[in-house]
Structure 1
């Protein structure tokens, strides 16, 4: 599928820096752009000219006060956010969650489908059917990103996914063959971190951490405004992050690990093993809020584990902000005080207050993260994120 987006590539490093600055922070005047990027007026003009000619950047009316200048007034530069749309897909064990976003990652449509099989060919068929349905509504669809829990290689191959029971599945190739659209595949946590860094809680921050709680534990570190990739980020490192050596032993994690104490499956397992009742996570949280002894015990232990984990991250990374996200953050509504008390107890009394933001998120946020990866890679050619 040929789109005008192809004419935006390849961008030089300088052009890419200008495009990203305007995309994330725009509209910006040329003066602001030059200051932000430490460029001379001449260098900025040289870099912006091809971006304007290709249609990636446009001049927009300045809504601020008129400025007195010699010669032609300078209009701010911006992107036309609606000129291109992107599909983001998040795969879980039994569902596909999809969103369509603008160039600035604003969600303009949602579409979900059940996943009744893990056969890669059939999964690719489902993704292609969703793409066709959305492409009919959004003819500006330029490309797609797919987020998967597990190890992803070269943004194309799912090397290992325990949730889908996949090994070495060439997902990008399977979907591209069916849709004709360019496809980027990435670990779902990495995609979420990119979205929050560019367009969310971490925008403009130098040191930023994303910690997700849900079916597993996800961790993302941003330094110098860029996500730090690391070898074990796709392999469930939370199994080995020990928070309480005397804590519970569960099927999915080491004794007292972040996974054993904090993940939804482990919390449900603890309640089931102790009471014989198979309760949902929401029912367990409600039970803890109502004072049911076993639910209180398990949720309180999880809250103390979360406070300890956040304190450890803060003590070593010294982030400006930590974002708590994922489908398990309802823990904060029920036991937030325990988390906060434990966090303070594990930090130096003179440490600066830690900015912890809790984001009540669903799987569409993860899908949006995948769409942001598509924007980065397919439009801007950002290969080093």
Structure 2
């Protein structure tokens, strides 16, 4: 398959600034947009004209925008991005599945498609991604790019340096997929991609200091300062393996004794139940057992809840974020033991500290795939040199 990408129009730096402001925060009145970007009305008119002519921006009815400010003179219609003008494919690769989505320019999902991953050979994986892209393109021809999320170390948004789930080293995944699809491809660590998605279009939009913490098969952490993600050495190599939350805590095959990984990840929680009872239960069965008062399940879930409260408190104490987003397939812990998490969190904070704004987002792998699309959106909008 070879596709013609729906490219971003050639824009100056100031035109890009206008487009990004409307993309992330719109619809916006011209008055609000000029104030945000410190532009005169004449300069704003000059900058928006080519964006409207290219079909990227459009005037929308006043009711579609935020309440207009009081202003003098002839009212103008707010500006918004034509989100469907460009579409993106996002893939999340796990050890046994590929989850795929098509998103708009604002990362709203318009299609989903999943395929089993029977082979980890990089060439065959690239072939599978190309097949899925071709299927998407049949119904959604305005594809502008592909984003791929992988657990592990990703270099230059193109090469999977190391992936423990896929047993890969130095795989040029972006090149392999681009050769087969003809579309620009961005590869990113899955947690980093999710952080960027939430920063631009989700819980962190408009915040200066923001944290994403994910719990599931592993732990993920992302810090945003000044609206930009801060690179973290551990985000690609197993965050939390050496962050000791309880020195007397459990010893599991992955992570140090009492580490965040040993206490909080789904495999570790399942391992603890299996070692204690001989029963191989799913994570959902363990949570249900704890909710029903089953002693061993309750003990393990309570330990995990206290560990989570401690971890969130440490993050709040040192990073001082305006909000912490808790996401991932393990967030069901909050439904069963959210009270213990909150109590532990308060006990590890100064009595006069402001309450932590902890938002929980129930995620599935399509959310991770959506997150993977956002670095591709960002690269198209910002230009490769600015991402």
TM range (shorter): over 0.9
Match of 1:92 in 2: 94
What is the rounded CA distance, in whole Å, between the counterparts of 1:97 and 1:381 in structure 2?
A: 26
TM-score where L is the length of structure 1? 0.95
Aligned match for 1:255, one of 226, 251, 257: 257
Structure 2 stretches lacking a partner, 5+ long:
none
Match of 1:24 in 2: 24
Match of 2:156 in 1: 154
Number of equivalent positions: 382
The answer as to whether partners of 1:84 and 1:102 remain within 8 angstroms in 2 is yes
Residues 1:108 and 2:110 are matched in the alignment: yes
Match of 1:43 in 2: 43
The answer as to whether partners of 2:20 and 2:381 remain within 8 angstroms in 1 is no
RMSD: 1.8
SS of 2:48's partner is helix
What is the rounded CA distance, in whole Å, between the counterparts of 1:219 and 1:13 in structure 2?
A: 31
User: What CA deviation, in whole Å up to 9, does each residue of 1:164-208 have, x standing for no partner?
Assistant: 111000001111111111111000001111111111111111111
What is the rounded CA distance, in whole Å, between the counterparts of 1:65 and 1:378 in structure 2?
A: 30
Match of 2:185 in 1: 183
The answer as to whether partners of 1:244 and 1:256 remain within 8 angstroms in 2 is yes
Aligned match for 1:203, one of 189, 205, 211: 205
User: What CA deviation, in whole Å up to 9, does each residue of 1:339-379 have, x standing for no partner?
Assistant: 01100000000011111111111011110011111111124
What is the deviation of 1:292?
1.4
The answer as to whether partners of 1:19 and 1:380 remain within 8 angstroms in 2 is no
The answer as to whether partners of 2:204 and 2:323 remain within 8 angstroms in 1 is yes
TM-score where L is the length of structure 2? 0.94
SS of 2:90's partner is strand
Moved over 4 A (4+): 64-71, 382-385
User: What CA deviation, in whole Å up to 9, does each residue of 1:39-82 have, x standing for no partner?
Assistant: 222332333233233332223333378998657x5332211111
User: What CA deviation, in whole Å up to 9, does each residue of 1:215-271 have, x standing for no partner?
Assistant: 110001111122111233211121111111111111110111111110001111111
Query: Relative to structure 1, is the Cα distance of residues 294 and 180 closer, same or farther in structure 2, using a 3 angstrom cutoff?
Result: same
Match of 2:59 in 1: 59
What is the deviation of 1:317?
1.1
SS of 2:312's partner is helix
User: What CA deviation, in whole Å up to 9, does each residue of 1:280-338 have, x standing for no partner?
Assistant: 11111111111111111111110000000000000011111111000000000111111
| Larger CA deviation: 283-292 vs 337-346 | 283-292
What is the deviation of 1:154?
0.7
What is the deviation of 1:384?
4.2
Matches of residues 345-364 of structure 1 in structure 2 within 5 Å?
345-364=347-366
Aligned match for 1:275, one of 259, 274, 277: 277
The answer as to whether partners of 2:91 and 2:370 remain within 8 angstroms in 1 is yes
Match of 2:126 in 1: 124
What is the rounded CA distance, in whole Å, between the counterparts of 1:384 and 1:238 in structure 2?
A: 30
The answer as to whether partners of 1:146 and 1:186 remain within 8 angstroms in 2 is yes
Aligned match for 2:7, one of 2, 5, 23: 5
The answer as to whether partners of 1:82 and 1:103 remain within 8 angstroms in 2 is yes
Matches of residues 320-339 of structure 1 in structure 2 within 5 Å?
320-339=322-341
What is the rounded CA distance, in whole Å, between the counterparts of 2:73 and 2:136 in structure 1?
A: 48
What is the rounded CA distance, in whole Å, between the counterparts of 1:329 and 1:128 in structure 2?
A: 32
SS of 2:240's partner is helix
What is the deviation of 1:383?
4.6
The answer as to whether partners of 2:92 and 2:148 remain within 8 angstroms in 1 is yes
What is the rounded CA distance, in whole Å, between the counterparts of 1:54 and 1:231 in structure 2?
A: 40
